[in-house]
Amino acid sequence: MAESDPRPIDYIALTRETYAGLGYPPYRWALNEDPPSWATLGKPLSEARLGLIASGGIYRHGQVAFTHRDDVTHREIPTDVDTAEIRVTHFAFDPAAARRDPNVVFPIDTLRSLVAEGTVGELAPMALTFMGGIYSQRRLASELIPVLVDRTLEMGADAVLLVPV
Amino acid sequence: MCHQSVGLVSRAIERKGVPTLSMTSAHSITTSANPPRAAFTDFPLGHTCGPPDRPEEQRSIMHDALALFETMEQPGIVELDYSWPAPWKEEARQPVDHRTPRHDTPQYQNQDDRSAAVAAHGVGVACRPAAPGDIPRC
């Protein structure tokens, strides 16, 4: 059966409608009209060190889990981790698929296979994870983003893949 | 919200001279956050990198996405050529609040995780109370 409306879902409009139905004021989404910075990969991807940052509330067995209320901490997961130790909790999406196969939001086996076949040079030693459901853009910018930027630079990543949910 | 956060992180890293690529399944939010490079998969939220237990399809999606580091010449969102088995959009478009309560203590996937974190970090950290004097209750 085909979709009755094949266009991508407009989650900004949908959130506005959902919140209005609950009597909440509309959420003010980040609107960046200024163009982003643009950096280029100075070497082939097959020779590059790739960083992974995932925002799906992912942690490793033994780590402290994320809270669900504007948690601006992050976790570091070795990129040679046993995938069976990956956990996912989140308040805003159904984690059932991600718990069965973490690669849907934390593509660690996928990236390791791309390294093995030579498409990607290597992975940065640690993947960085956080709970992306942060409503306060101010706290995100002042507390979490500087840490993620610093760790990325410290690990010498030539490029970074980011995965939201 | 996750898509917004990732967009803002992506812009900040690129500003330091490191190229970034964001996966996205929320086109409108990513358009608004405006990261340098995004690969759009028109999938239900929670499956940004593909369907579970389909490693070959996941690998193909990621292969196409990462190629954008070498092929894109200006900022934008590129729609990858994959689709999710229809129909799923009509239900996903209903204005229903699917969020679970936003607890302010660590939320473990299972009791084993909680026990392992308590053993490694102590109950005061692993079950961080919401306020001083609160009983840890994760």
Task: List, in sequence order, every residue forming a beta bridge with A56; answer none if it has no partner.
Answer: A131
Dump strand ranges (E) for B18-100: 20-24, 37-42, 76-83
By C-alpha distance, the chain B residue nearest A121 is: B66
Domain coordinates in residue numbering, chain B: 2-92, 103-131
Contacts 24+ apart (CB under 8 A), B129-132: B129/B105, B130/B104, B130/B105
The pairing of strands B37-42 and B20-24 is: parallel
The pairing of strands A49-54 and A122-123 is: parallel
Reported as a single tens digit per residue, the pLDDT across A81-134 is: 999 999 999 888 889 999 999 999 999 999 999 999 999 999 999 999 999 999
Q: Cα–Cα distances in Å, from A130 out to A25, A94, A143?
A: 26, 17, 12
Q: How many domains does chain A have?
A: 1
> Which residue among A59, A67, A144 sits closest to B103, beta carbon to beta carbon?
A67
B111 part of contact set with chain A, CB < 8 Å: no
Say which residues have a Cβ less than 8 Å from residue A150's Cβ, sequence separation at least 6.
none
By C-alpha distance, the chain A residue nearest B94 is: A14
Reported as a single tens digit per residue, the pLDDT across B48-58 is: 999 999 999 99
A33 part of contact set with chain B, CB < 8 Å: yes
Domain-located, residue A134: yes
Cβ distance B32 to A161 less than 8 Å, yes or no, reads: no
Domain-located, residue A4: no
Residue A147, Cα to own-chain centre: how many angstroms? 15
Max avg pLDDT among A92-96, B70-74, B122-126: B70-74
Provide the domain limits for residue A101.
46-163
The pairing of strands B37-42 and B76-83 is: parallel
Reported as a single tens digit per residue, the pLDDT across A54-81 is: 999 999 999 999 998 899 999 999 999 9
- A vs B, Cβ pairs < 8 A, gives 310
Q: Is the pLDDT of residue B75 over 90?
A: yes
Dump strand ranges (E) for A10-164: 49-54, 58-60, 74-78, 86-88, 122-123, 126-130, 159-163
The pairing of strands B20-24 and A86-88 is: unpaired
